Chains A and B, each alone.
Chain A
Amino acid sequence: MQLSSRLKLRAGVRLKFDRTRNANLLLLPERTVKLNHSAAAVLSCLNGTATVDDVLSLLAMRYNSQNLTKDVIAFLEEARDKGWVQAIDD
């Protein structure tokens, strides 16, 4: 995954904070995924303009940690492979 890639949730995929379960959910056609806190934090940064690099900086600032890069990129690659996110220039 390129640091300069701009990512967004794919069409038909959206994040929802669910008050009943007090949890972030990812909604897809005929499927719901209950997200943990970090997955929701990463996915909520994907607005189609931020690059992977921007997302990393934002999360590093928010969680005051420089060691997130490997985990975040691994998660974004997994999210792409699962069809949750796509690069905007795809």
Chain B
Amino acid sequence: MIEPPYALTCELTHRCPLKCLYCSNPLSLIRAEDELTTDEWLRVICEAKELGIVQVNFSGGEPLAYEGLPQIVALCKNFDLYTHLVTSGIGLDRRKFDTLRQSGLESIQISFQADDERLSESIAGGNFLAQKRAAASLVAGSDIPLTLNVVLSRFNLDRLEQILDQFLKFRPRRIELANVQFYGWALANRSYLLPSSEQLKRAEALYLARKAKLNGEVEIDWVISDYFENYPKPCMGGWASTHLCVTPVGEALPCLAASAIKGLPFPSVKSKDLSWIWYESEAFNRFRGLGWMTKPCSECELRFVDFGGCRCQAFLLTGDASSADPVCRLSPARHLIDEALAEKNRTAVRYRCFSQPDASVP
């Protein structure tokens, strides 16, 4: 039996003032003129509530760049849906913050790149640190719980201690230390972003020490760097099991990275309702459960634990979304990961950008 999903992620826009090297958005970004309208999002929220969704996350791009955000938050509040904003902090001034708070926004996550301006700028492709600090102070001084996030890579893993010291000044509810995952722009910049295993080990030891010291006062999470593991991550708890995502153009996905999987017809919220998409669509059913698996997954005891790993990573690296996640030591394609880890030649670095000049991008 298919259970209803718990969470909806609304990827409101791909517009973003930052150009982060590790961005997980697809290389071909969706333009402002192709975005869903606020009315279309409001209809999606109505369908989400009917479907049994209880949490709505807003992401992007920079979701604050989407004009209709407060209206969408207000409808969620009306339906008693939990709302969480994932933002760079850019654009979160006092006025915007008050509007969102009054609309009923319940939780905010702000991402940082590093603890100092020079390094932040080299990762984000611009100088945003002061604005981020101002936004974090604004949330810290309110009753909305603050999560602080940093995406960790070769560039900033050695600064983890300073990054944590900076974070703790904002008295966050939660800290998320997310090792970079290789999708979208991050995959294009993989040879630049991959850390050394020594860097990663030092940082993880530091994380564990600080976690013990904080003793639950601040929740602190570590998102693993799966390339250095022997077995894959149990991505999204299995394909289309708890979560549904909608892209700026209205494409419904089981996970935001899934748009990379070619040949799988993802339905649009413009022509289908969320209930049909969740229960009936081919795309959402394709990798549900364990029946789609081939060897080695189909005969492996770990299939109940990791569900064969990430379908998007399997597709991106092997071209076959039904193969084992190549991170797995049992995958015949594991050499692809080992080769990436051993790669010494670094490709030219690519900052996130729209494919052609676009007047709508700030």
Contact = CB atoms under 8 A, between A and B. Distances in A.
Interface of A: 10-12, 14, 16, 18, 20-21, 25, 27, 29-30, 32, 80-83
A32 B54 contact: yes
B143 A11 contact: yes
Given A12-B173, A20-B4, A80-B216, A29 B109 contact: yes
Interface in B5-42: 6-7
B145 A12 contact: yes
A21 to B, nearest CB: 7
B4 A29 contact: no
B145 A29 contact: yes
Interface size range of chain B in the complex: 20 to 34
20 contacts: A11-B145, A11-B173, A12-B106, A12-B107, A16-B80, A16-B82, A18-B52, A20-B4, A20-B51, A25-B54, A27-B54, A27-B55, A29-B84, A29-B106, A30-B7, A32-B6, A32-B82, A80-B216, A81-B216, A83-B173
A30 B80 contact: no
Contacts of A12: 106-107, 144-145, 173
Please list the 4 inter-chain residue pairs (A to B) with the smallest Cβ-Cβ separation, ordered nearest first: A12-B145, A20-B52, A29-B107, A27-B82
Contacts of A25: 54
A21 B4 contact: yes
Given A16-B80, A27-B54, A29-B107, 4 more contacts: A18-B54, A29-B109, A30-B57, A30-B107
Contacts of B173: 10-12, 29, 83
Interface string B44-78: 00000001101101000000000000000000000
Contacts of B143: 11
A29 B147 contact: yes
B132 interface: no
A18 B3 CA distance: 14
Interface string B147-173: 100000000000000000000000001
